[in-house]
Structure 1
């Protein structure tokens, strides 16, 4: 196992542990931090292992942080709908 995959696995474990801790803001600040840390790790994984493994790690991250992805999709759909 190379370092990039190990960092991605550590990110996944940290994300799950952070999700178990109660929060007053519905975990949004933790989600922002996880996104900011996860993007460089995703780039590192893609650089070392290729785009297919990078896509698998991206899918893993999107499954952990599904609500920011859902809200982004809704925002994009709303922006495209108002442009027409």
Structure 2
């Protein structure tokens, strides 16, 4: 088994543990997972091909859809009220 798959499985387990934490304690480890994910997805895509990389990207976007929406709104200058 390749290192990218092992690291991906560990990332999933870590994100599950972080999701079980109280909300106020999720920010720091959640941000770390958010920053590590693109590197891991790139590694999976590099070692296993485009389709597994796209599947990993889809899983990542699905799991982090709300934080990614927030960051997108903040980057584009839209406020929360304007989005609703």
TM-score range, shorter chain: 0.7 to 0.9
Question: What corresponds to 1:52 in structure 2?
Answer: 51
Q: Distance in 1 between matches of 2:60 and 2:9?
A: 10
1:28 and 2:31 are equivalent in the alignment: no
- Which residues of structure 1 form unaligned runs of 5+? 79-84
Give 1:14 shift.
0.7
> How many equivalent residue pairs?
77
- Which residues of structure 2 form unaligned runs of 5+? 79-84
Q: Distance in 2 between matches of 1:6 and 1:35?
A: 18
Greater relative CO, 1 or 2 (CA 8 Å, sep 6+): 1
Question: What corresponds to 1:6 in structure 2?
Answer: 6
Closer, same or farther in 2 for the Cα pair 1:7/1:68, shift >3 Å? Answer: same
Query: CA contact under 8 A between 1:4 and 1:45: conserved in structure 2?
Result: yes
